[in-house]
């Protein structure tokens, strides 16, 4: 499986996905191997990279040590994890790697995996929750209008994560 190194998620994003329950554990060993190739090091990352993609329980067990090796502590707050995940989703869309319908599906997945977390609605992408039902039901606005709304929300999401407020709020994502 050929993978573009720039498409490998950061350890912080992987931590966010783990917190949100959306982590694709079968891919984590490959990502850890890329982290090693990119200069990350540590026994936890090496152990994670050596796993078979079917070792799901071991991935979960080794992930905290690998994240610590990468200088990232597990994210304990779902809101902080969602902010990182939403930023990634928005960037995928704005970089032309994901369509607007995929954005809606990904946002819905974050909500569904987290008991429809109220804290997620404040983010620009969180505000899109429910639009997937509108699209699937064929009621409401025209698809072109929804497409523009998704794109605009992605732009606002990326601006939000660049803000000083996010930098202060996300300090619990990294080790001192």
pLDDT, tens digit, 9 for 90 and up, residues 114-124: 878 777 888 99
Q: Is the pLDDT of residue 44 over 70?
A: yes
pLDDT of residue 172: 46
pLDDT of residue 125: 94
User: With helix as H, strand as E and coil as C, how does the chain read?
Assistant: CCCCHHHCCCHHHHHHHHHHCCCCHHHHHHHHHHHHHCCCCCHHHHHHHCCCCCCHHHHHHHHHHHHHHCCECCCCCHHHHHHHHHHHHHHHHHCCCCCHHHHHHHHHHHHHHCCCCHHHCCCCCHHHCCHHHHHHHCCCCCHHHHHHHHHHHHHHHHHHHHCHHHHHHHHHHECC
Segment 119-132 mean pLDDT:
90
pLDDT for 86-113, tens place per residue?
999 999 999 999 999 999 999 999 998 8
Residue 165 reports pLDDT greater than 90: no
Average pLDDT over residues 127-138: 91
How would residue 1 be classed by pLDDT, with cut points 50, 70 and 90? very low
Q: Residue 167 has what pLDDT?
A: 53
Distance CA 83, CA 89 (A): 10
Write the pLDDT tens digit of every residue in 49-69: 999 988 899 999 999 999 999
In this model, does residue 15 exceed pLDDT 90? yes
Per-domain residue ranges of the chain: 5-69, 78-171
CA 158 to centroid of chain Cα atoms? 13
Residue 142 has pLDDT above 90, yes or no: yes
- Residue 104, pLDDT score: 97
33 pLDDT higher than 90: yes
Q: What is the mean pLDDT of residues 28-57?
A: 93
Please give the mean pLDDT across all residues of the chain: 87
């Amino acid at each position: 499986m050929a993978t573009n190194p720039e498409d490998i998620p950061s350890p912080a994003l992987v931590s966010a996905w783990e917190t949100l329950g959306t982590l694709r554990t079968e891919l984590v060993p490959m990502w850890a191997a890329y982290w090693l190739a990119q200069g990350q090091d540590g026994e936890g990352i090496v152990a994670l990279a050596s796993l078979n993609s079917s070792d799901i329980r071991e991935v979960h067990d080794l992930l905290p040590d690998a994240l610590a090796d990468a200088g990232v502590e597990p994210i304990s707050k779902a809101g902080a994890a969602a902010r990182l995940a939403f930023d990634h989703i928005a960037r995928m869309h704005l970089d032309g790697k994901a369509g607007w319908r995929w954005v809606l599906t990904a946002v819905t997945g974050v909500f569904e995996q987290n008991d429809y977390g109220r804290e997620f609605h404040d983010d620009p992408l969180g505000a899109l929750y429910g639009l997937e039902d509108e699209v699937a039901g064929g009621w409401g606005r025209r698809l072109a209008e929804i497409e523009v709304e998704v794109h605009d929300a992605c732009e606002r999401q990326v601006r939000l994560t660049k803000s000083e407020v996010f930098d202060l709020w996300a300090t619990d994502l990294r080790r001192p």
